[in-house]
Amino acid sequence: MGDTLRQVHFERIANSSYRVHNARGGSITVGSGGDATDFTPVELLLAAIGTCSAIDVDVVVSRRAEPTEFSAVVRGDKVRDSEQGNRMENLAVEFTIRFPEGEDGDKAREALPRSVKLSHDRLCTVSRTVEIGTPVTTTVDETA
């Protein structure tokens, strides 16, 4: 089955600003918003949902034809709820994907709806996790 563990780690740079690292050496700065250009955690969630599906779709359709346009808008409403807590609702991914004219482009256009549906229903780990509602555990290392 292989290694299933995925993780990132981060450290505080300043109040509400963090540098997140992955095991491959990549990093990104995440902040609370305000005046900074850093992505917020909610924006990263939206990006993760959209790009996870995009990768699934891109792998399938690009075998048939190289897209002439491949972009998406991922949106949702941030809800502040005193009873159920803050969360996102109305999450949606809207792809804009175009292919060249011709037989290969036609094959890619034909595969597109099926690949988007398959990503949503089975393949995209991020959106599947959000939709299923996987619990998150938080702990504090009290040894320090």
What is the C-alpha separation between 20 and 12, in angstroms, rounded? 9
DSSP-H helix ranges across 31-123:
41-61, 103-118
Same domain assignment for residues 107 and 89: yes
Residuewise pLDDT in 10s, the chain (144 residues): 579 999 999 999 999 999 999 999 999 999 997 778 899 999 999 999 999 999 999 999 999 999 999 999 999 999 999 999 999 999 999 999 999 999 999 999 999 999 999 999 999 999 999 999 999 999 999 986
Residue 61 lies in a domain: yes
**Can you give the CATH number for the domain in which 85 is found?**
3.30.300.20
Which letter does DSSP use for residue 140 in this model? -
124 contact partners, CB below 8 Å, separation of at least 6:
49, 52, 53, 56
Q: Is the pTM of this model over 0.85?
A: yes
What is the C-alpha separation between 78 and 66, in angstroms, rounded? 35
Which letter does DSSP use for residue 39 in this model? B
Same domain assignment for residues 70 and 12: no
Total domains present in the chain: 2
Domain of 46, in residue numbers: 40-132
